[in-house]
Amino acid sequence: MREGISNLFNLRRGELAPVLVAGLFFFCILTALMMLRPARDALGMERGIDSVRWLFIGTAVVTLLVNPVFGWLVSRFRRLHFIAATYAFFALSLAGFWSLLVFAPGAVGARSGQVFYVWFSVFNLFVTMVFWALLADRFSSEQGKRLFALIAVGGTLGAIFGPWLASHLAEPLGTPSLLLVAAGFLALAIALAWTLVRVRPDRPGAVADATAAAPVADEERRIGGSAWAGLRAVFSSPYLMGIAGYVLTMTIVATFIYFTRLQMVAAAESDLDARTGMLGNIDMWTQVAVLLLQLTLTGHIIRRFGLAFALAALPVATALGFIGLAIYGSFAVLILLEAMNRAVQRGLTRPAREALFTVISREDKYKAKAFIDTFVYRAGDVVGAQTEGLLGRLGLALGGLVTVVVPLALFWAMLGIWLGRAQQRRAAAGAPEPAAQVDAR
């Protein structure tokens, strides 16, 4: 049975146990996130769409301020210690919000709702970033191309399980108690992070790559360096700058889709229930498409066609979708565009993008990746939101968006192809981690 599973999912000896642990780890994170996301979105919309644009700016500022704090943790503490500290901080924050809702409900208002929106947006990025950084550290480049999509299945299942669990627990336990349940999943994620680092291969001598094995002795070493090393690394490395540019462009375009959807929903005065039902069905089929990609095709696509193809697929699909939206301009086409974007992004592009980080130094895997996956990501939200708002005020609407999206998608696709080839060159060269970047104190 084990050999059959290994052949089906492109696993090799010694990889089954760490893949299962990593998948369960991601399941816990996404369950916690998706339990709380509906509350975040509802609170953000209380003062209208324009307020969401300002909340995006606030979130970007907070992520920039938090980055040096996280960089300091990475420099001073051992790997599992700063990972545990990150998750523990957010779990305690959830307990704090729960206390406010239970013991001081009168203090909960529009302002505190905006604080929760910004906090959740930062929380969302950091917990997923830390997860993928650990995976880039734990698995080799070759393993990442084969296994990251399979591991991401755990996150997809968590994204389905989280809302289901919230719907079944909200009434008997009360909505505030969902915060404690989410905190419990984060605590379980800490235990799984420790297990992932320490799990041994299923059979002796199964793992050929010593860096992928992440021996326990590594935990005695601290990464060291400056709290601002991640920011400096991004601006001094063409490779990391390319990843940052890819993430920035991707987020700008995704924000266009997000606000276009909000505008269409807000403008709908009839058949809103039917459209909401259609949206729910599309979301469900999107998750099915993501699962199919992750379980069967992504690993084989990346292995056969390379990261360059996987990274260029999303820009091409998004550009075609926007052209179709400009031609037909219907709500159904918008939903199909969003569904296609999510399916390709989660099922194919995200595993490929995370594999880009497997060929950089350990310090950059945590510090530079944190800067890219949090501040650069949120900066893309801000640019996308403000650009979409400006085009709307100018009366350009969908036609104006297409004139922006198509050139962006062309640049985005070319950047993805360059990154895929650069990663392949680094992997072939070994991309060794400089010894000076590890502090053995």
Who has greater pLDDT, 85 or 296? 85
The one-letter code for the residue type at 367 is K
Per CATH, the number for 2-430 is: 1.20.1250.20
Is residue 429's pLDDT more than 80? yes
251 within 8 A of 381, measured Cβ to Cβ: yes
User: Taking the domains of the chain in order of start, what are their residue ranges?
Assistant: 2-430
Average pLDDT over residues 402-414: 90
152 within 8 A of 21, measured Cβ to Cβ: no
Is residue 365's pLDDT more than 90? yes
pLDDT at position 222 is 75
- Straight-line distance from the first to the last Cα atom of the chain, in angstroms, rounded to the nearest whole number: 45
pLDDT digits (tens, 9 = 90+) for 305-357: 888 998 999 999 888 888 888 787 676 777 777 777 777 888 888 889 999 99
Q: What is the share, in percent, of the chain residues with pLDDT greater than 70?
A: 76
Residue bearing tokens 């950059």: 364
Residue 117 binned pLDDT confidence (cut-offs 50, 70, 90): confident
pLDDT at position 357 is 94
How far apart are alpha carbons 18 and 354 in whole angstroms?
Answer: 17
Which pair of structure tokens corresponds to residue 430?
């070994």
101 within 8 A of 218, measured Cβ to Cβ: no
Closest of 125, 3, 2, 139 to residue 56, by C-alpha: 125
Closest of 342, 155, 353, 374 to residue 261, by C-alpha: 342
pLDDT at position 376 is 94
Residue 417 binned pLDDT confidence (cut-offs 50, 70, 90): very high
How far apart are alpha carbons 219 and 212 in whole angstroms?
Answer: 14
pLDDT at position 435 is 36
Who has greater pLDDT, 333 or 282? 333
Closest of 209, 217, 236 to residue 79, by C-alpha: 217
pLDDT at position 346 is 81
pLDDT at position 7 is 60
